Amino acid sequence: MFAQNLRDFYVTIYDSCQCFRVIYNEGLIKNIFQSCINLAKNPMKTMWKRRGMHHTKLILDGIVKYRCIFQDFDDSFEAKQIDYDNTERILVGMIKNWDFDMTISKEELWTNL
């Protein structure tokens, strides 16, 4: 029973957070997005140019909502510098992982079966 109530509580928070966007500085988001484009390499760079701004905003949105609900209990849902810093840190780490070659050679494919 407790687990079900806890699940319902978090589902309610999740649903509520889908109904609105946080307040943020468009210029700071564009700077983060641009720095991520500069860091990315092709072919991911091309994809990031097309979809990266949207995903940058979504990551910031989640970070701000998490901080406001679970840390600061701040009902303004307005981004602070720490939120922008965390967004950039997450994105830079993500983009650096794009350099990892995940292709499998034919030899590896057949030897690992």
Average pLDDT per block of 10 residues along the chain, 113 residues long: 63 64 95 95 89 95 93 93 98 88 68 61
pLDDT on residue 62? 93
pLDDT on residue 43? 84
Q: What is the distance between the alpha carbons of residues 79 and 62, in angstroms, rounded to a whole number?
A: 10
Q: What is the distance between the alpha carbons of residues 61 and 83, in angstroms, rounded to a whole number?
A: 9
**Domain boundary assignment for the chain:** 2-99
- Does residue 88 contact residue 32 with C-beta atoms inside 8 Å? yes
